[in-house]
């Protein structure tokens, strides 16, 4: 398996081999070193931006099962405009989902978080600020954000989430260190709806229908009207195909809270 550790090992050995070759045979190193750096950079990019790769650490992105079950999750709330409307759709269908919340959006929306919890939905950690430069933070600053987000949830529910979804789905060594020190459980997805950029509800619906498979973890956003628009039809399709939608921690056998 391609990981950060074995990638560094392989490229370290390759670098030493190039240096030895230069010493023994006086071969110019500019081109091979450039190629080596380019390949290393491409692999790091893959590991950082494809959460399912498990490049830096193991991240749960789906359930390994043949049972017709899926889990749905919503990022970036709580949002005044659509979170409660989405929750109402879920309530009518007796479905529990996971909401990965941003901490600084809880203030003023405590009633939404409380309602989600009371309805049996799972609350996950999606950082406190979801800052554009979160990926460049030190591990200590990342962990401080994650703990601050948990404190915000605790003030409303007396619970602290253990499940953490990285902002933008980006991983790196600093975040790995923060997750380990904070004893969080990193969770991703294997079906990204792309609802934040979707413009056509019929195309979005077709995309998420085609991705249906046992053990799938769907990523939606409760900040998008288009998600609210397609959700009832999507749930109907899932049920028509004989699937159950269950809460993520139950499907993945994970501890939801401290």
- Taking the C-alpha atoms of residue 193 and residue 63, their distance in angstroms, rounded to an integer, is 18
Domain count, the chain: 2
**pLDDT tier for residue 149 given thresholds of 50, 70 and 90:** very high
Q: What is the pLDDT of residue 142?
A: 98
My answer on whether 238 and 177 are in the same domain is yes
Residues 72-126 pLDDT 10s: 999 999 999 999 999 999 999 999 999 999 999 999 999 999 999 999 999 999 9
Residue 62 lies in a domain: no
Q: What is the pLDDT of residue 230?
A: 98
**pLDDT tier for residue 24 given thresholds of 50, 70 and 90:** confident
Residue 61 lies in a domain: no
My answer on whether 131 and 170 are in the same domain is yes
Residue 258 lies in a domain: no
* Predicted confidence (pLDDT) at residue 207 exceeds the cutoff of 80: yes
- Taking the C-alpha atoms of residue 104 and residue 109, their distance in angstroms, rounded to an integer, is 10
My answer on whether 141 and 178 are in the same domain is yes
Residue 64 lies in a domain: no
User: Which of 4-13, 128-137, 196-205 has the lowest average pLDDT?
Assistant: 4-13
My answer on whether 8 and 75 are in the same domain is no
My answer on whether 21 and 138 are in the same domain is no
My answer on whether 101 and 40 are in the same domain is no
My answer on whether 20 and 110 are in the same domain is no
Which of 164, 159, 133 has its CA nearest to residue 146?
164
* Predicted confidence (pLDDT) at residue 1 exceeds the cutoff of 80: no
CATH of the domain at 104: 3.20.20.370
My answer on whether 99 and 141 are in the same domain is yes
Q: What is the pLDDT of residue 56?
A: 96
Is the model more confident about 239 or about 17? 239
Residues 166-191 pLDDT 10s: 999 999 999 999 999 999 999 999 99
Residue 153 lies in a domain: yes
Range of the domain at 193: 69-252
Q: What is the pLDDT of residue 203?
A: 97
Q: Cβ–Cβ contacts within 10 Å for residue 38, how many?
A: 10
Percent of the chain with pLDDT over 70: 100
My answer on whether 76 and 33 are in the same domain is no
My answer on whether 75 and 42 are in the same domain is no
Q: Is 1 exposed, middle or buried (0-12, 13-18, 19+ CB in 10 A)?
A: exposed
Q: What is the pLDDT of residue 67?
A: 97
Residue 81 lies in a domain: yes
Which of 163, 169, 105 has its CA nearest to residue 134?
169
233-241 average pLDDT score: 98
Residue 55 lies in a domain: no
My answer on whether 27 and 83 are in the same domain is no
My answer on whether 43 and 131 are in the same domain is no
Contact yes or no for 246/71 (Cβ under 8 A) = yes
């Amino acid at each position: 398996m391609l990981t950060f550790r074995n990638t560094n090992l392989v490229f370290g050995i390759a670098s030493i081999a190039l240096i030895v070759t230069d010493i023994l045979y006086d071969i110019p190193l500019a081109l091979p070193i450039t190629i080596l750096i380019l390949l290393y950079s491409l692999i790091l990019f893959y590991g950082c931006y494809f959460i399912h790769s498990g490049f830096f650490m193991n991240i749960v992105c789906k359930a390994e099962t043949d049972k017709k079950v899926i889990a749905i999750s919503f990022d970036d709330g709580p949002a005044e405009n659509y979170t409660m409307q989405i929750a109402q759709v879920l309530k009518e269908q007796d479905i529990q989902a996971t909401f990965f919340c941003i901490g600084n959006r809880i203030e003023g929306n405590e009633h939404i978080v409380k309602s989600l919890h009371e309805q049996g939905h799972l609350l996950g950690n999606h950082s406190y600020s979801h800052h554009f430069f979160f990926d460049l933070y030190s591990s200590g600053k990342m962990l401080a954000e994650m703990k601050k987000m948990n404190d915000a949830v605790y003030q409303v529910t007396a619970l602290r989430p253990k499940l953490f979804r990285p902002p933008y789905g980006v991983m790196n060594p600093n975040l790995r260190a923060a997750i380990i020190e904070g004893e969080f459980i990193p969770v991703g997805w294997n079906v990204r709806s792309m609802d934040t950029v979707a413009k056509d509800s019929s195309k979005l619906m077709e995309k998420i229908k085609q991705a249906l498979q046992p053990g799938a973890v769907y990523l939606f956003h409760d900040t998008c009207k288009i998600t609210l628009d397609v959700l009832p039809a999507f749930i109907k399709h899932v049920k028509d195909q004989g699937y159950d939608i269950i809460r993520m921690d139950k499907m993945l056998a994970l501890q939801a809270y401290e």
